[in-house]
Amino acid sequence: MADFYFRCRRDYDRADEELALAKPGLPNSTAFLTLSGYIDRRQGRWEAAEHDLRRAVELDPRSINAVNLLVDTYVLLRQFDQAMAGYDRAIAAGLEIPIIHLRRELIRFAKTGEVTILRQALAEAPPTLDVGGGETPLRIMLAIIDRDYKRAARELTASPRDNFQEVDFSFYYPRAWYEGIVARAAGNQVQAHEKFATARQIFQQRLTIKPNDARTLSVLAQVDAGLGEKERAIGEGRQAVDLMPFKRDAYDSVLVKQGLAQVYTWTGELDQALKILQELMKQPGYLSYGYLRVDPAWEPLRSDPRFNQFVESFKPKL
Protein backbone atom coordinates (compact mmCIF):
# COMPACT_ATOMS: atom_id res chain seq x y z
CA MET A 1 0.00 0.00 0.00
CA ALA A 2 2.86 2.38 0.74
CA ASP A 3 4.31 1.63 -2.68
CA PHE A 4 0.90 2.26 -4.25
CA TYR A 5 0.45 5.65 -2.58
CA PHE A 6 4.03 6.56 -3.45
CA ARG A 7 4.03 5.59 -7.13
CA CYS A 8 0.41 5.93 -8.19
CA ARG A 9 -0.95 8.75 -6.06
CA ARG A 10 2.22 10.69 -5.16
CA ASP A 11 0.75 10.86 -1.66
CA TYR A 12 3.91 10.60 0.38
CA ASP A 13 2.28 11.34 3.72
CA ARG A 14 -0.15 8.45 3.27
CA ALA A 15 2.74 6.25 2.13
CA ASP A 16 4.57 7.11 5.35
CA GLU A 17 1.51 6.08 7.36
CA GLU A 18 1.44 2.69 5.66
CA LEU A 19 5.16 2.22 6.25
CA ALA A 20 4.69 2.98 9.93
CA LEU A 21 2.10 0.18 10.12
CA ALA A 22 4.40 -2.27 8.35
CA LYS A 23 7.65 -1.41 10.13
CA PRO A 24 7.22 -3.47 13.36
CA GLY A 25 6.82 -6.68 11.36
CA LEU A 26 9.71 -6.00 8.96
CA PRO A 27 12.74 -5.14 11.12
CA ASN A 28 15.30 -6.55 8.68
CA SER A 29 13.59 -6.17 5.32
CA THR A 30 15.76 -4.79 2.53
CA ALA A 31 12.65 -4.10 0.43
CA PHE A 32 11.04 -2.12 3.26
CA LEU A 33 14.14 -0.01 3.90
CA THR A 34 14.68 0.60 0.19
CA LEU A 35 11.14 1.88 -0.24
CA SER A 36 11.41 3.97 2.91
CA GLY A 37 14.62 5.57 1.65
CA TYR A 38 13.07 6.15 -1.76
CA ILE A 39 10.14 8.02 -0.23
CA ASP A 40 12.44 9.99 2.09
CA ARG A 41 14.32 11.30 -0.94
CA ARG A 42 11.14 12.58 -2.52
CA GLN A 43 10.40 14.55 0.62
CA GLY A 44 13.87 16.01 0.92
CA ARG A 45 14.79 13.94 3.97
CA TRP A 46 18.26 13.17 2.71
CA GLU A 47 19.86 12.02 5.96
CA ALA A 48 17.00 9.63 6.63
CA ALA A 49 17.16 8.34 3.07
CA GLU A 50 20.90 7.70 3.30
CA HIS A 51 20.44 5.94 6.66
CA ASP A 52 17.70 3.59 5.44
CA LEU A 53 19.38 2.80 2.13
CA ARG A 54 22.74 2.17 3.78
CA ARG A 55 21.04 -0.25 6.18
CA ALA A 56 19.29 -1.97 3.26
CA VAL A 57 22.64 -2.54 1.56
CA GLU A 58 24.17 -3.82 4.79
CA LEU A 59 21.39 -6.41 4.98
CA ASP A 60 21.73 -7.42 1.34
CA PRO A 61 24.94 -6.09 -0.26
CA ARG A 62 24.01 -7.68 -3.60
CA SER A 63 20.57 -6.10 -3.89
CA ILE A 64 20.96 -4.16 -7.13
CA ASN A 65 17.96 -1.97 -6.32
CA ALA A 66 19.22 -1.01 -2.85
CA VAL A 67 22.78 -0.47 -4.07
CA ASN A 68 21.68 1.71 -7.00
CA LEU A 69 19.42 3.85 -4.83
CA LEU A 70 22.10 4.36 -2.17
CA VAL A 71 24.72 5.26 -4.78
CA ASP A 72 22.22 7.49 -6.57
CA THR A 73 21.48 9.31 -3.30
CA TYR A 74 25.18 10.07 -2.87
CA VAL A 75 25.25 11.32 -6.48
CA LEU A 76 22.31 13.63 -5.82
CA LEU A 77 24.15 14.97 -2.77
CA ARG A 78 27.27 15.33 -4.96
CA GLN A 79 29.19 13.04 -2.62
CA PHE A 80 30.86 11.38 -5.58
CA ASP A 81 33.62 9.57 -3.69
CA GLN A 82 30.99 7.99 -1.44
CA ALA A 83 28.98 6.98 -4.48
CA MET A 84 31.94 5.29 -6.18
CA ALA A 85 32.85 3.55 -2.92
CA GLY A 86 29.30 2.21 -2.78
CA TYR A 87 29.75 0.49 -6.12
CA ASP A 88 33.20 -0.75 -5.09
CA ARG A 89 31.67 -2.47 -2.06
CA ALA A 90 28.95 -4.01 -4.22
CA ILE A 91 31.53 -5.39 -6.65
CA ALA A 92 33.55 -6.79 -3.74
CA ALA A 93 30.37 -8.44 -2.44
CA GLY A 94 29.91 -10.27 -5.74
CA LEU A 95 27.63 -7.90 -7.68
CA GLU A 96 29.85 -8.27 -10.72
CA ILE A 97 27.85 -7.00 -13.70
CA PRO A 98 28.95 -4.69 -16.55
CA ILE A 99 26.47 -1.91 -15.79
CA ILE A 100 27.95 -1.42 -12.30
CA HIS A 101 31.42 -0.74 -13.72
CA LEU A 102 30.05 1.68 -16.32
CA ARG A 103 27.94 3.60 -13.84
CA ARG A 104 30.87 3.87 -11.46
CA GLU A 105 32.90 5.56 -14.19
CA LEU A 106 29.93 7.73 -15.13
CA ILE A 107 30.00 9.08 -11.57
CA ARG A 108 33.69 9.87 -11.97
CA PHE A 109 32.83 11.71 -15.18
CA ALA A 110 30.07 13.66 -13.41
CA LYS A 111 32.62 14.72 -10.81
CA THR A 112 35.45 15.69 -13.15
CA GLY A 113 34.05 16.31 -16.60
CA GLU A 114 36.95 14.32 -18.05
CA VAL A 115 35.62 12.99 -21.35
CA THR A 116 38.33 10.34 -21.56
CA ILE A 117 36.77 8.62 -18.54
CA LEU A 118 33.43 8.28 -20.29
CA ARG A 119 35.03 7.32 -23.59
CA GLN A 120 37.05 4.50 -22.02
CA ALA A 121 34.14 3.24 -19.91
CA LEU A 122 31.87 2.97 -22.94
CA ALA A 123 34.63 1.33 -24.98
CA GLU A 124 35.07 -1.34 -22.28
CA ALA A 125 31.33 -1.97 -21.88
CA PRO A 126 29.54 -4.52 -24.07
CA PRO A 127 28.53 -2.70 -27.29
CA THR A 128 24.89 -3.73 -26.88
CA LEU A 129 24.67 -2.61 -23.22
CA ASP A 130 21.64 -0.33 -22.98
CA VAL A 131 19.88 -0.93 -19.66
CA GLY A 132 16.55 0.88 -19.81
CA GLY A 133 17.87 2.71 -22.84
CA GLY A 134 20.33 4.54 -20.59
CA GLU A 135 23.60 3.99 -22.44
CA THR A 136 22.62 5.13 -25.95
CA PRO A 137 22.17 8.75 -24.77
CA LEU A 138 25.67 8.63 -23.27
CA ARG A 139 27.13 7.42 -26.57
CA ILE A 140 25.25 10.19 -28.38
CA MET A 141 26.43 12.84 -25.93
CA LEU A 142 30.03 11.71 -26.31
CA ALA A 143 29.79 11.78 -30.12
CA ILE A 144 28.34 15.31 -30.02
CA ILE A 145 31.10 16.42 -27.65
CA ASP A 146 33.53 15.06 -30.25
CA ARG A 147 31.53 16.91 -32.94
CA ASP A 148 31.14 13.63 -34.77
CA TYR A 149 27.48 14.01 -35.70
CA LYS A 150 27.43 11.11 -38.14
CA ARG A 151 28.61 8.85 -35.33
CA ALA A 152 25.94 10.28 -33.03
CA ALA A 153 23.29 9.37 -35.60
CA ARG A 154 24.78 5.89 -36.00
CA GLU A 155 24.72 5.31 -32.25
CA LEU A 156 21.00 6.07 -32.21
CA THR A 157 20.29 3.97 -35.29
CA ALA A 158 22.17 1.02 -33.78
CA SER A 159 19.73 0.76 -30.87
CA PRO A 160 16.53 -1.22 -31.46
CA ARG A 161 14.75 0.77 -28.76
CA ASP A 162 12.12 3.44 -29.33
CA ASN A 163 12.42 5.06 -25.89
CA PHE A 164 15.44 5.96 -23.79
CA GLN A 165 16.27 7.13 -20.28
CA GLU A 166 18.87 9.55 -19.02
CA VAL A 167 20.70 10.10 -15.76
CA ASP A 168 17.68 9.95 -13.43
CA PHE A 169 16.12 6.80 -14.96
CA SER A 170 12.59 8.00 -14.24
CA PHE A 171 11.49 9.43 -17.60
CA TYR A 172 11.41 8.01 -21.13
CA TYR A 173 12.48 10.12 -24.10
CA PRO A 174 11.31 9.00 -27.56
CA ARG A 175 13.72 8.36 -30.41
CA ALA A 176 12.56 11.52 -32.16
CA TRP A 177 13.85 13.63 -29.25
CA TYR A 178 17.42 12.40 -29.82
CA GLU A 179 17.07 12.66 -33.59
CA GLY A 180 16.21 16.31 -33.04
CA ILE A 181 19.12 16.80 -30.63
CA VAL A 182 21.62 15.31 -33.09
CA ALA A 183 20.26 17.30 -36.04
CA ARG A 184 20.30 20.51 -34.01
CA ALA A 185 23.90 19.95 -32.92
CA ALA A 186 24.90 19.25 -36.54
CA GLY A 187 23.28 22.50 -37.68
CA ASN A 188 20.62 20.76 -39.76
CA GLN A 189 17.73 23.01 -38.80
CA VAL A 190 15.22 21.49 -41.25
CA GLN A 191 15.68 17.98 -39.91
CA ALA A 192 15.83 19.21 -36.31
CA HIS A 193 12.47 20.96 -36.77
CA GLU A 194 10.95 17.82 -38.32
CA LYS A 195 12.14 15.53 -35.51
CA PHE A 196 11.22 17.92 -32.70
CA ALA A 197 7.75 18.25 -34.26
CA THR A 198 7.39 14.46 -34.10
CA ALA A 199 8.57 14.44 -30.48
CA ARG A 200 6.06 17.17 -29.68
CA GLN A 201 3.18 15.01 -30.91
CA ILE A 202 4.36 12.16 -28.66
CA PHE A 203 4.57 14.35 -25.56
CA GLN A 204 1.21 15.96 -26.29
CA GLN A 205 -0.32 12.50 -26.47
CA ARG A 206 1.24 11.63 -23.10
CA LEU A 207 -0.26 14.77 -21.61
CA THR A 208 -3.67 13.75 -22.95
CA ILE A 209 -3.35 10.50 -21.03
CA LYS A 210 -1.76 12.09 -17.97
CA PRO A 211 -2.70 15.81 -17.84
CA ASN A 212 -0.54 18.27 -15.93
CA ASP A 213 2.38 15.88 -15.60
CA ALA A 214 5.21 18.28 -14.78
CA ARG A 215 8.05 16.17 -16.16
CA THR A 216 6.32 15.70 -19.51
CA LEU A 217 5.41 19.37 -19.73
CA SER A 218 8.98 20.33 -18.87
CA VAL A 219 10.40 18.25 -21.72
CA LEU A 220 7.67 19.50 -24.06
CA ALA A 221 8.88 23.01 -23.23
CA GLN A 222 12.40 22.01 -24.29
CA VAL A 223 11.02 20.58 -27.53
CA ASP A 224 9.25 23.86 -28.24
CA ALA A 225 12.50 25.71 -27.53
CA GLY A 226 14.10 23.46 -30.14
CA LEU A 227 11.29 24.39 -32.53
CA GLY A 228 11.98 28.08 -31.99
CA GLU A 229 8.67 28.67 -30.19
CA LYS A 230 10.28 30.85 -27.53
CA GLU A 231 7.28 32.29 -25.70
CA ARG A 232 5.38 29.02 -25.69
CA ALA A 233 8.44 27.14 -24.46
CA ILE A 234 9.08 29.55 -21.60
CA GLY A 235 5.41 29.51 -20.62
CA GLU A 236 5.33 25.71 -20.53
CA GLY A 237 8.60 25.53 -18.62
CA ARG A 238 7.34 27.96 -15.97
CA GLN A 239 4.04 26.11 -15.71
CA ALA A 240 5.90 22.84 -15.13
CA VAL A 241 7.88 24.45 -12.29
CA ASP A 242 4.64 25.76 -10.74
CA LEU A 243 3.10 22.28 -10.95
CA MET A 244 6.05 20.68 -9.15
CA PRO A 245 7.24 22.84 -6.24
CA PHE A 246 9.99 21.59 -3.95
CA LYS A 247 7.55 20.97 -1.11
CA ARG A 248 5.59 18.56 -3.30
CA ASP A 249 8.56 16.53 -4.52
CA ALA A 250 12.18 17.41 -3.72
CA TYR A 251 13.41 15.09 -6.47
CA ASP A 252 11.21 15.93 -9.46
CA SER A 253 11.08 19.65 -8.69
CA VAL A 254 14.81 19.99 -9.31
CA LEU A 255 14.62 18.08 -12.61
CA VAL A 256 11.73 20.27 -13.78
CA LYS A 257 13.62 23.42 -12.81
CA GLN A 258 16.64 22.16 -14.73
CA GLY A 259 14.35 21.76 -17.72
CA LEU A 260 13.42 25.44 -17.47
CA ALA A 261 17.12 26.34 -17.33
CA GLN A 262 17.53 24.36 -20.55
CA VAL A 263 14.64 26.26 -22.17
CA TYR A 264 16.20 29.59 -21.22
CA THR A 265 19.56 28.41 -22.59
CA TRP A 266 18.12 27.36 -25.94
CA THR A 267 16.01 30.51 -26.30
CA GLY A 268 18.87 32.91 -25.60
CA GLU A 269 17.72 34.02 -22.15
CA LEU A 270 21.16 33.38 -20.72
CA ASP A 271 20.78 35.56 -17.61
CA GLN A 272 17.71 33.60 -16.57
CA ALA A 273 19.40 30.28 -17.34
CA LEU A 274 22.45 31.15 -15.25
CA LYS A 275 20.27 32.30 -12.36
CA ILE A 276 18.45 28.96 -12.24
CA LEU A 277 21.67 26.96 -12.57
CA GLN A 278 23.09 28.85 -9.60
CA GLU A 279 20.02 27.89 -7.59
CA LEU A 280 20.18 24.26 -8.71
CA MET A 281 23.77 23.79 -7.61
CA LYS A 282 22.68 24.67 -4.07
CA GLN A 283 20.17 21.80 -4.05
CA PRO A 284 20.64 18.03 -4.31
CA GLY A 285 20.39 17.01 -7.95
CA TYR A 286 22.12 15.45 -10.93
CA LEU A 287 23.60 18.69 -12.22
CA SER A 288 27.33 18.64 -11.53
CA TYR A 289 30.64 20.21 -12.43
CA GLY A 290 31.31 17.49 -15.00
CA TYR A 291 28.07 17.97 -16.91
CA LEU A 292 28.24 21.76 -16.72
CA ARG A 293 31.77 21.63 -18.05
CA VAL A 294 31.20 19.53 -21.18
CA ASP A 295 27.54 18.58 -21.74
CA PRO A 296 26.50 20.01 -25.15
CA ALA A 297 23.16 21.01 -23.61
CA TRP A 298 24.84 24.04 -22.02
CA GLU A 299 27.01 24.99 -25.02
CA PRO A 300 25.24 28.35 -25.66
CA LEU A 301 26.30 29.47 -22.17
CA ARG A 302 30.00 28.78 -22.64
CA SER A 303 30.59 32.07 -24.43
CA ASP A 304 29.58 33.88 -21.23
CA PRO A 305 32.52 34.46 -18.83
CA ARG A 306 30.11 34.47 -15.89
CA PHE A 307 29.03 30.94 -16.67
CA ASN A 308 32.60 29.72 -17.00
CA GLN A 309 33.55 31.35 -13.70
CA PHE A 310 30.50 29.80 -12.05
CA VAL A 311 31.36 26.32 -13.37
CA GLU A 312 35.00 26.65 -12.36
CA SER A 313 33.96 27.35 -8.77
CA PHE A 314 32.81 23.70 -8.53
CA LYS A 315 35.99 22.17 -9.90
CA PRO A 316 36.99 19.32 -7.58
CA LYS A 317 40.08 19.97 -5.54
CA LEU A 318 42.93 17.52 -5.99
For 54-103, what is each residue's pLDDT tens digit? 999 999 999 999 999 999 999 999 999 999 999 999 999 999 899 999 99
Distance CA 235, CA 16 (A): 34
| CA 224, chain centre distance (Å) | 20
Q: What is the pLDDT of residues 93-121, one digit of tens each?
A: 999 899 999 999 999 999 999 999 999 99
Written out in words, the top-level CATH class of the domain with range 1-100 is mainly alpha
Q: Is the pLDDT of residue 318 over 90?
A: no
% residues pLDDT > 70 (the chain): 100
pLDDT tops 90 at residue 168: no
pLDDT average, residue stretch 229-238:
98
Nearest to 266 by CA among 305, 315, 218: 218
The arithmetic mean of pLDDT across residues 151-169, rounded, is 95
3-state secondary structure (DSSP) of residue 282? coil
Taking alpha carbons only, the member of 196, 171, 192 closest to residue 182 is 192
Mean pLDDT, residues 210-229 taken together: 97
> Which band of pLDDT confidence, cut at 50, 70 and 90, is reported for residue 169?
confident
Taking only the tens place, the pLDDT of each residue in 37-57 is 999 999 999 999 999 999 999
pLDDT of residue 167: 87
Burial of 141: CB neighbours in 10 Å, binned 0-12, 13-18, 19+: buried
Beta bridge mates, 219? none
Rounded CA gap, 100 and 114, in Å? 19
What is the pLDDT confidence band of residue 170, given thresholds at 50, 70 and 90? confident
For residue 165, what are the CA distances in angstroms to 153, 255, 268?
A: 17, 13, 26
* Residue 317 in this model has a pLDDT that exceeds 90: no
Q: What average pLDDT does the segment 221-250 reach?
A: 98
Q: Does residue 171 surpass a pLDDT of 80?
A: yes
Per residue in 259-302, pLDDT (tens digit) is 999 999 999 999 999 999 999 999 999 999 999 999 999 999 99
Average pLDDT for residues 13-20, to the nearest whole number? 98
Name the residue among 133, 118, 126, 221 with its Cα closest to residue 169: 133
Q: Average pLDDT of 12-23?
A: 98
